[in-house]
Amino acid sequence: MKSIKSLLVLADGTVFKGEHIGAEPADGFVSGEVVFNTAMDGYQEVITDPSYAGQVIAFTYPHIGNYGTCFYDNESSKPYCRGIVVREITSLASNWRKEQNLEEFLVEGNISGISGVDTRKLTRHIRSFGTMGCAFGMLEEKALAEIARSEPGTTGKDLVSQVSSPLAYTYVPDVALGSDEHAKSDRFKVVAYDFGIKQTILRHLAKIATVQVVPATTPAKVVLENKPDGVLLSNGPGDPAALPHISANIAMLIGKVPIFGICLGHQLLACALGGRTFKLPFGHHGINHPVKHLSSNKVEITSQNHNYAVVPDSIADMTVTHINLNDGVIEGFGSDKIPILSIQYHPEAGPGPHDAGYLFNRFAQLMGENA
């Protein structure tokens, strides 16, 4: 197949040459906020993570697509990222679970990409100058540069409304694998707010509770009428400061039911408690971030995907429980007065290490203590 030349242009005018992959971009280009992900595998889970809505994902690992894709590994019903950037994509995928190669998967999901890019150089550039707008495609460099400069990014934008389910539903655990670990547990009842929830989070929750998933704007009164043992605030995309209506809703749940916040849910819980958030220079995106659990001094290697974080000391009467050892960012907080468990990283991994999986059992313990 003949390759189609493509250009990636950043908002500051930096240009990278490459070749088109994936779906044909509408109007000949794709734009978004470019971020890099350092994971060595799990590209399908990354691409289908709704937390990447509005963003173009640059993979730092040089060879992407080795093992293809399969439906079970999707974290959502479709990809919400704007596009992907890779050094090299393979056309030959080897894996007994493979259903499609990555190129076919991108076309089916209507995701465009660019390959042949020096992703090491791109990553170093983002680390030096921060996350910024970008555009890539088959247009002239001047046109792409103008589009990149006008890309608004994620700051101040409500992206949750683009990815949240419009209807409530009861999650049905996976039983096709024939494993007891995927069987439903009815010990507890959890209501999970869908801010862009990942399937792997639901699989972990189903091991400890029956799970009802509700849209992001579901009123607290409706949730409490269901008499849940606990409430899960899920991951999701974008700027928590752009969601004051959701934070205000969460505030009405605090102290009335145990709450477990993950990623964006963690940030929104912080805002509901009066805290503030800020945007990181280039975010945390990968599966190798070291996090220290302060009470035990144990270090967990964690999966992360976020561009915003909680401002230190902005929440009164809260205890910081976890910190990021790379940059000191708050990775978790709790309270002796109210039943909350709040974590910035991804205890479900998907993809990533399982060091933090115990936190779902901690949530079950919290619900048991407040039954």
The pLDDT value given to residue 371: 82
pLDDT of residue 175: 55
Q: Is 346 a catalytic residue?
A: yes
What percent of the chain is modeled with pLDDT above 90?
Answer: 93
Q: Average pLDDT of the chain?
A: 95
Neighbours of 353 (CB within 10 A): 14
Residues across the chain:
371
**Residue 83 to residue 161: CA distance in whole angstroms:** 19
Q: What is the CA radius of gyration of the chain?
A: 20
CB-based contact 302:353 (threshold 8 Å): yes
Q: Are 359 and 342 in contact (CB under 8 A)?
A: no
State mean pLDDT over 156-175.
93
Average pLDDT over every residue of 17-31: 96
Cα separation, 333 vs 315, in Å, equals 10
Query: Annotated catalytic residue: which of 45, 75, 300, 348?
Result: 348
| Pair type for strands 188-194 and 29-37 | unpaired
Asked if 125 is an active-site residue, the reply is no
Domains contained in the chain, CATH given: 5-150 (3.50.30.20), 160-369 (3.40.50.880)
Measured CA distances, 291 to 58, 125, 189, 300 (Å)? 23, 25, 30, 5
pTM as predicted? 0.96
Q: Is the pLDDT of residue 285 over 60?
A: yes
The per-residue pLDDT for 346 is 97
Give the DSSP H or E segment for 271: helix 264-272
Catalytic member of 81, 134, 263, 271: 263
86-127 pLDDT per residue, tens: 999 998 899 999 999 999 999 999 999 999 999 999 999 999
Dump strand ranges (E) for the chain.
5-10, 15-22, 29-37, 55-59, 63-64, 83-85, 88-89, 112-115, 132-137, 169-170, 188-194, 209-215, 230-233, 259-262, 277-293, 298-310, 319-324, 330-334, 340-343
Distance CA 202, CA 171 (A): 7
**Contact yes or no for 303/262 (Cβ under 8 A):** no
Strand 5-10 and strand 132-137: the pairing is antiparallel
Helix axes 264-272, 244-251, angle to 10 degrees: 70
CA 300 to chain centre: 18
Residue 169 predicted with pLDDT over 60: yes
Q: Is 99 a catalytic residue?
A: no
For 28, list phi and psi in degrees, rounded to 5: 85, 10
Concatenating the DSSP letter of every residue in 93-122 gives ---TT-SB-HHHHHHHTT-EEEES--HHHH
Reduce the DSSP state of residue 230 to 3 states and report it: strand
**How confident is the model over 36-43, as a mean pLDDT?**
96
Phi, psi of 264 (to 5 degrees): -60, -35
In the chain, how long is the greatest CA-to-CA distance?
A: 64
The residues facing 343 across adjacent strands are 262, 332
Q: What's the burial of 145, exposed, middle or buried (CB within 10 Å: 0-12/13-18/19+)?
A: buried
* Pairing label, strands 63-64, 132-137: unpaired
Residue 216 to residue 194: CA distance in whole angstroms = 5
